[in-house]
Amino acid sequence: MAEQPQPISPLKNFFAGGFGGVCLVFVGHPLDTIKVRLQTQPKPQPGQAPLYSGTFDCFRKTLVGEGVRGLYRGMAAPIVGVTPMFAVCFFGFGLGKRLQQRKPDDVLTYPQLFAAGMLSGVFTTVIMAPGERIKCLLQIQAATGETKYSGSLDCAKQLYREAGIRGVYKGTVLTLMRDVPASGMYFMTYEWLKNILTPEGKSVSDLSVPRILFAGGLAGIFNWAVAIPPDVLKSRFQTAPAGKYPNGFRDVLRELIREEGVASLYKGFTAVMIRAFPANAACFLGFEVAMKFLNWIAPNL
């Protein structure tokens, strides 16, 4: 059974989650850029070396060719999207917990926490899918040497002009396939680790900063262990030319398995895992700090 602060306030989760999301983007975006470039790099011709031999080669080439700004390419879209997205994500988790409580002081089981986390994944997809599409297109644009989009807003306008709202939301199903189970694992793991790390006789709300960072970072790793395969499919699908995959993610999956094998579903694994710990540690620390501040200024919210 998991102990948690009472009562649960979805509204406080909303505001604190938004702040946590901003913290996550600033810490994690450079390695997210590397991840997307590794996942979407073209298959080399026979006898040719791949564009990037691995995570550190991609990092080096991006830094040398584009400077530090290259690592933060496309960050405007996730910053604009992440604040409301994580706000809605943590709101969905708080709401999912509250809906499963018969009384305000009910303590939820870990399967119930997993279910609440899955609900948060559904909530975030509407906001996340367009931002992910724009982010991925901008991240690979610099690597190809072409400049089709001048920025996030221009990218959104062109996508809408070319294919309407469906063009902006391309990859929504894959975003759901990635985020629903991964979000369940994310929140359940975090709550589980907080309980384990809380000293005997102490409250979970009094957990030290290093322990919050450890729990949040490890929750991020568990999250991405579940999310990587659908994330690879999503990145490929969202950055592919119109009409390349008429049957959606099934065509992407068939092509990847046929041409590059099952291991291709874990492209960018190193970059993801290196990013997952610090980014999500920052996210949960930001969330906990913001939550304590909200509890101080608005205890009855």
pLDDT tens-digit map of 50-103: 888 888 898 898 888 888 888 887 777 777 767 888 899 999 999 999 999 888
Tell me the pTM.
Answer: 0.78
Domain ranges of the chain: 10-42+50-297
- For the chain, give the secondary structure using H, E and C: CCCCCCCCCHHHHHHHHHHHHHHHHHHHHHHHHHHHHHHHCCCCCCCCCCCCCCHHHHHHHHHHHHCHHHHCCCCHHHHHHHHHHHHHHHHHHHHHHHHCCCCCCCCCCHHHHHHHHHHHHHHHHHHHHHHHHHHHHHHHHHHHCCCCCCCHHHHHHHHHHHHHHHHHCCCHHHHHHHHHHHHHHHHHHHHHHHHHHCCCCCCHHHCCHHHHHHHHHHHHHHHHHHHHHHHHHHHHHHHCCCCCCCCCHHHHHHHHHHHHCHHHHHCCHHHHHHHHHHHHHHHHHHHHHHHHHHHHHCCCC
| pLDDT tens profile 247-258 | 888 899 999 899
Whether 14 has a pLDDT exceeding 70, the answer reads yes
pLDDT of residue 102: 85
Whether 2 has a pLDDT exceeding 60, the answer reads no
| pLDDT tens profile 221-248 | 999 999 999 988 998 898 888 788 888 8
Superfamily of domain 10-42+50-297: Mitochondrial carrier domain (1.50.40.10)
pLDDT of residue 138: 86
| pLDDT tens profile 41-57 | 877 888 888 888 888 89
pLDDT of residue 4: 46
pLDDT of residue 128: 79
